[in-house]
């Protein structure tokens, strides 16, 4: 295996890869890590940046320090597969091996003007911008959140605690919030949202967003907003689209990879995290495990061992409802109330304090 590895993205998958290999990295290998941020960030808490309940320092963790790793703070713009190059805003990097761990971006599903007029909790910068516009709102102003999934529910309930003076509405396309979770969780969460005066409109298919209103298909109606936040779907980071010529997309446009996360039709390029195809939905947990497995693959090559990946097993889903209660599924059991909140805080705390 040649010696210059370029790692794009120091999020959940990228950091997990680094933490797996660094204790055993051969002396002649060098890694360049490129990220637009100069810290690792706890992305599952971006909603709390936007609502204002967490200060940005609380969601940052230092990158692991190692003499064979160089961190490059830059905006990645293009992967040139055939030239073995990555073009960034300020740098041009050559790679022998490339690891793409660039996460995902909002998917606007071609809804006209959604990208232009809505705010986001999908990147650190966008979540901070969302916080700014929310802070500038007046009592009785209206925040409309498009999407009724995990991050929307967490954001809405946290926003309610931070801003009791605001009106909050969630718009969900299916007939209940958290459509992929069991009915018991849906009912519990819905009762919580009702009790906390968060209006939920279901069966809403958004057709257009303009500068003042969200339009939706049900009887061609619209709902006015002061701030509108899009949390209705994600897609792989479009920079990874350059790799599709050497693979295939799955139904979420994630890149199909081999067992060792390498592209099927180009040697030496690996994809992990939200950009990589999997039987599971994208999550921090999945990205962490994929980064670890990729690290184990690199170690097996360096140590001349066979690579036998273990099947990926996820522990479950956990969600916050404000700062005291929550919901979740752990080993197929539904848990509601204080316990899932405490477990989730513990998981995120452990992650943050075992990075550097
Ligand atoms: C609000 C919210 C709540 C969530 N809650 C949960 C949860 O409870 N549980 C869970 O398991 N998952 C949750 N997720 C999903 C989880 O955060 C992601 O699945 C996970 O972070 C993906 O890991 P990754 O390594 O693929 O990408 P990321 O962790 O997103 O890392 C990608 C890295 O690439 C960098 N990057 C991207 N583009 C560029 C560029 N052009 N130039 C330079 N750098 C770039 C980013 O700065 C980032 O550091 C949540 C997500 C959000 C937004």
Among 15, 19, 43, residue to substitute to test ligand 1 (most atoms within 8 Å of Cβ): 43
Please tell me the distance between residue 285's alpha carbon and the centre of ligand 1 in angstroms.
11
- The pLDDT, as a whole number, for residue 164 is 97
CA distance 120 to 45: 13
Q: Is 278:88 a contact under the CB 8 Å cutoff? A: no
- The pLDDT, as a whole number, for residue 205 is 95
Among 6, 9, 127, 145, residue to substitute to test ligand 1 (most atoms within 8 Å of Cβ): 9
Is there an atom of ligand 1 within 6 Å of 328 CB?
A: no
Band (1; pLDDT cuts 50, 70, 90): low
Please tell me the distance between residue 58's alpha carbon and the centre of ligand 1 in angstroms.
16
Query: Which residues have a Cβ under 8 Å from the Cβ of 329 and sit 6 or more positions away?
Result: 181, 182, 185, 316, 317, 335
Mean pLDDT of 150-161: 98
Indicate which atom in ligand 1 lies nearest the CA of residue 283.
Answer: 19
- The pLDDT, as a whole number, for residue 61 is 95
| Residue 278 CB neighbours (<10 A) | 21
Is there an atom of ligand 1 within 6 Å of 122 CB?
A: yes
Is there an atom of ligand 1 within 6 Å of 345 CB?
A: no
With a cut of 90, say whether residue 2 has pLDDT above it. no
Average pLDDT over all residues of the chain: 96
Mean pLDDT of 286-312: 97
Please tell me the distance between residue 86's alpha carbon and the centre of ligand 1 in angstroms.
20
Phi, psi of 112 (to 5 degrees): -55, 135
Q: Whose alpha carbon is nearest atom 27 of ligand 1?
A: 103
Band (260; pLDDT cuts 50, 70, 90): very high
Indicate which atom in ligand 1 lies nearest the CA of residue 13.
Answer: 25
Mean pLDDT of 130-145: 98
Is there an atom of ligand 1 within 6 Å of 29 CB?
A: no
Domains located in the chain, CATH noted: 4-36+74-105+234-314 (3.50.50.60), 108-232+317-348 (3.50.50.60)
Percent of the chain with pLDDT over 90: 95
Among 283, 291, 313, residue to substitute to test ligand 1 (most atoms within 8 Å of Cβ): 283
Please tell me the distance between residue 103's alpha carbon and the centre of ligand 1 in angstroms.
5
Band (331; pLDDT cuts 50, 70, 90): confident
- The pLDDT, as a whole number, for residue 204 is 94
CA distance 352 to 52: 19
- The pLDDT, as a whole number, for residue 79 is 98
Q: Whose alpha carbon is nearest atom 23 of ligand 1?
A: 12
Kindly state the helix (H) or strand (E) to which residue 151 belongs, with its residue range: helix 150-162
Is there an atom of ligand 1 within 6 Å of 237 CB?
A: yes
Is there an atom of ligand 1 within 6 Å of 39 CB?
A: no
Residue 198 Cα to chain centre, angstroms:
24
Band (348; pLDDT cuts 50, 70, 90): very high
219-233 residue pLDDT tens: 689 999 999 999 999
Closest CA to 201 of 226, 168, 231, 230: 168
52-109 residue pLDDT tens: 999 999 999 999 999 999 999 999 999 999 999 999 999 999 999 999 999 999 999 9
Indicate which atom in ligand 1 lies nearest the CA of residue 16.
Answer: 25
pTM: 0.96
- The pLDDT, as a whole number, for residue 356 is 58
- The pLDDT, as a whole number, for residue 354 is 78
- For residue 32 the two structure tokens come to 């360049």
DSSP lists the bridge partners of residue 271 as 100
- Helix extents (H) in the chain: 12-21, 46-51, 114-117, 124-135, 150-162, 183-195, 284-302, 338-353
Phi, psi of 306 (to 5 degrees): -75, 140
3 state DSSP class of 97: strand
Farthest CA pair distance, the chain: 66
Please tell me the distance between residue 161's alpha carbon and the centre of ligand 1 in angstroms.
25
Phi, psi of 301 (to 5 degrees): -70, -50
Better-scored residue on pLDDT, 350 or 92: 92
């Amino acid at each position: 295996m040649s010696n210059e590895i370029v790692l794009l993205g120091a999020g959940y998958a990228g950091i997990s890869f680094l933490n797996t290999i660094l204790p055993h990295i051969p002396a002649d290998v060098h890694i360049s890590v490129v990220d637009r941020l100069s810290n690792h960030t706890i992305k599952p808490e971006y909603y709390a940046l936007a609502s204002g309940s967490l200060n940005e320092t609380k969601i940052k963790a230092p990158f692991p320090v190692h003499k064979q790793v160089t961190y490059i703070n830059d905006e990645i713009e293009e992967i040139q597969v055939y030239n073995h190059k990555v073009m960034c805003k300020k740098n041009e990097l050559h790679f022998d091996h490339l690891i793409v761990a660039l996460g995902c971006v909002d998917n606007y599903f071609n809804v006209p003007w959604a990208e232009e007029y809505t705010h986001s909790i999908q990147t650190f910068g966008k979540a901070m911008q969302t916080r700014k516009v929310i802070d500038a709102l007046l009592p009785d102003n209206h925040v409309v959140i498009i999407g009724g999934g995990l991050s929307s529910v967490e954001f809405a309930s946290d926003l309610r605690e931070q801003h009791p003076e605001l009106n909050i509405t969630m718009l969900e396309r299916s007939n209940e919030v958290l459509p992929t979770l069991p009915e018991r969780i849906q009912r519990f969460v819905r009762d919580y949202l009702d009790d906390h005066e968060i209006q939920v409109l279901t069966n809403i298919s958004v057709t257009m967003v303009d500068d003042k209103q969200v339009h939706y298909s049900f009887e061609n109606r619209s709902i006015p907003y002061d701030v509108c936040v899009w949390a209705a779907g994600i897609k792989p980071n479009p920079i990874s689209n350059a790799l599709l010529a050497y693979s295939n997309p799955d139904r979420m446009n994630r890149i199909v990879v081999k067992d060792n996360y390498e592209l099927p039709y180009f040697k030496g390029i690996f994809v992990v995290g939200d950009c990589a195809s999997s039987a599971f939905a994208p999550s921090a947990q999945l990205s962490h495990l994929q980064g670890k497995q990729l690290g184990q693959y690199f170690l097996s090559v360096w140590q001349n061992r066979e690579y036998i990946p273990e099947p990926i097993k996820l522990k479950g889903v956990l969600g916050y409802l404000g700062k005291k209660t929550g919901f979740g599924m752990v080993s197929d059991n539904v848990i509601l109330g204080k316990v899932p909140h405490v477990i989730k805080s513990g998981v995120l705390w452990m992650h943050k304090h075992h990075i550097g």
